[in-house]
């Protein structure tokens, strides 16, 4: 997708990583020292639907509820993700329609602790059947932050959190569950 079309189409640009982590307490200390804002702990159920391209998921949580479509390559380390996000109120009828029309691919059940430092969103995740992870998302919601800047922000957080290359995950939780 072309950068100039991102904001016009309602798509936001993320540069993100996912890594295995058993150091959530250490990461919380770092986030607190940087005065990051803790949003809270969200029990999220992400239902992934069968689609011909990209990924489509319905996120149902205590804090975040969204229909999310995204395209992202599978690679370890910071990667671009073009995200189309529709925030909604919980509605079981939507899940039924999506399930009937597309079919369910996989369901991801996780406890997610959500933090923000400016435009960078950090997640401390405990994923049922997979273990514990940290995610970093450097987010541009309005076209004012370049992809290069987002990569630099992500790299900075990788260093701050002492994430090792061997801990980086190149796939989504949905892919990992499907492989298990």
Residue 161 has pLDDT above 70, yes or no: yes
Residue 47: closest CA among 133, 123, 96, 105: 105
CA 55, distance to chain mean position in Å, is 12
Structure-block tokens of residue 28: 């919380």
State the architecture of 3-179 in CATH terms: Beta Barrel (2.40)
Q: What is the pLDDT of residues 11-66, one digit of tens each?
A: 788 899 999 999 999 999 999 999 999 999 999 999 999 999 999 999 999 999 99
7 has a pLDDT exceeding 60: no
% of the chain surpassing 70 pLDDT: 94
Tens of pLDDT, residue by residue over 84-110, are 988 888 889 999 999 999 999 999 999
Per-residue burial over 10-33, b = 16 or more CB atoms within 10 Å of its CB, e = otherwise: ebbbbbbbbbbbebeeebbeebee
Whole-number pLDDT of residue 107: 98
Q: Where are the domains of the chain?
A: 3-179
Any idea which residue has 């980086």 for tokens? 168
Distances (CA, A) of 102 to 85, 115, 118, 160, 175: 18, 32, 36, 41, 18
C-alpha–C-alpha distance, residues 137 and 47, integer Å: 20
Looking at the predicted structure, is the pLDDT value of residue 2 above 60?
A: no
Query: What average pLDDT is seen over the chain?
Result: 91
Structure tokens at 36: 């990051």
């Amino acid at each position: 997708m072309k950068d100039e079309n991102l904001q016009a189409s309602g798509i936001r640009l993320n540069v993100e990583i996912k890594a295995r982590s058993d150091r959530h307490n250490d990461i919380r200390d770092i986030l607190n020292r940087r005065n990051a804002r803790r949003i809270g702990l969200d029990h999220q159920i992400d239902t992934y639907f069968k689609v011909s391209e990209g990924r489509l998921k319905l996120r149902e949580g205590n804090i975040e509820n969204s229909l999310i479509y995204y395209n992202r390559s599978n690679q370890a380390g910071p990667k671009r993700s073009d995200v189309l996000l529709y925030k909604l109120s919980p509605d079981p009828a939507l899940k039924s329609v999506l399930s009937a029309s597309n079919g369910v691919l996989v369901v991801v059940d996780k406890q997610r602790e959500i933090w923000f430092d400016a435009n960078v969103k950090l997640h401390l995740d405990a994923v049922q059947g997979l273990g514990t992870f940290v995610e970093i998302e450097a987010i541009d919601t309005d076209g004012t932050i370049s992809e290069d800047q987002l990569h630099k922000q992500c790299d900075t957080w990788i260093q701050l959190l002492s994430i090792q290359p061997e801990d980086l995950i190149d796939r989504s939780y949905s892919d990992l569950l499907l492989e298990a």
